[in-house]
Amino acid sequence: MEKSDLACRKVWAGFVAVLLAACTGCAASGTQATAPVPAKAPKMTSATRMRLPIESYMFSDGQRDQVVEAKSKSIGLCMRRFGFVYDMPERSHSFRPESLTELRYGITSSSDAASYGYKPEGSDAAPGKPAPAKPEPKGYALALNGGSDRVDRLKGTELPEGGCVGEARRALRDTEKDGGGGDAEISNSINAASWQSSFQDARVRKVFQQWSQCMKLRGYEYADPMEANNDPRWKGGEPATATEKKVAVADTECKKRLNVVGTWYAVDMSYQEKMIADNREKLQPVKRKIDMQLRLAAKILGE
């Protein structure tokens, strides 16, 4: 993650896979799912503006950008001491959902579905070609990452442990492998586990059955919204076909008619609240670390 922007969020087609992968070992992390008190489902057509409890223990995209920018600035200042110009990585322009919840329960906008099918606007844009790598001057890599010697020296000056990258990490009080701006394992586990538990919850499966019947009346056979979202016919980099758009529109209309998003969000919330309560001691230092890193990043950036 050293050379890339940590702020990218995956498009929905890959989001479920990310959640399921992150949920592997959830039981070991203390995030086993136990049925919470039944949640009252609000009437909702979209979850984009809604927050989840676990977000208090995760970086927002903007906060993550701030930490990454501060780290890059810190590396650059350090490299300058050794006579090198550090080219800060360009901020990624990859697709980002507007919020953590925008696509968490599948697509919800009928107009977007009619235009883009299951591929959110901008998610299928071809990534820009990276700039050609410049030859690094002698000593650059050593200054950046340090070496294997107990005491590394460059131009007669002792290098910080781990080079300038190591110095930047310590400036942000972060020794994690991602170098700062990454979410804690416990936060990711809860985020993933609550989604999977809600997806399997009887209250959500009941509304899925109603959604499935609604779709069947329109000529489409799917057991749940994720099966429609992940239809192999929609995969690949091609623009949405007319069929994909029709299915996507039907999907959003059936969701709205049956309050699928409201039900799913409420159940997801209730699982998260229970998991957070069960893991309060593990989460408290996570929140303190986020606040500390943001203060340090603001100081480095002169904000």
Would you say 198 and 267 are in contact if contact means Cβ atoms under 8 Å apart? yes
Three-class secondary structure assignment of 121-171: CCCCCCCCCCCCCCCCCCCHHHHHHCCCCCCCEECCEECCCCHHHHHHHHH
How far are the Cα atoms of 82, 128, 213 from residue 153, in angstroms, in the given order? Answer: 10, 38, 70
267 burial level (CB within 10 Å; 0-12, 13-18, 19+): buried
pLDDT of residue 286: 94
pLDDT of residue 15: 45
pLDDT of residue 124: 63
pLDDT, tens digit, 9 for 90 and up, residues 155-201: 778 899 999 999 999 999 886 654 456 899 999 999 999 999 999 99
Residue 194 and residue 128: Cα distance in Å, rounded? 35
pLDDT of residue 10: 36
C-alpha angle 77-63-44 in degrees, rounded to nearest 5: 165
Collapse the DSSP code of 117 into the 3-class scheme (helix H, G, I; strand E, B; otherwise coil) and give the result. Answer: coil
pLDDT of residue 1: 37
pLDDT of residue 179: 46
Of 155, 165, 146, which Cα lies nearest the Cα of 75?
165
Residue 41 and residue 204: Cα distance in Å, rounded? 10
pLDDT under 50: residue ranges of the chain? 1-29, 178-179
pLDDT of residue 22: 39
Residue 146 and residue 165: Cα distance in Å, rounded? 8
Residue 243 and residue 76: Cα distance in Å, rounded? 50
Q: Cα 203 to chain center, whole Å?
A: 26
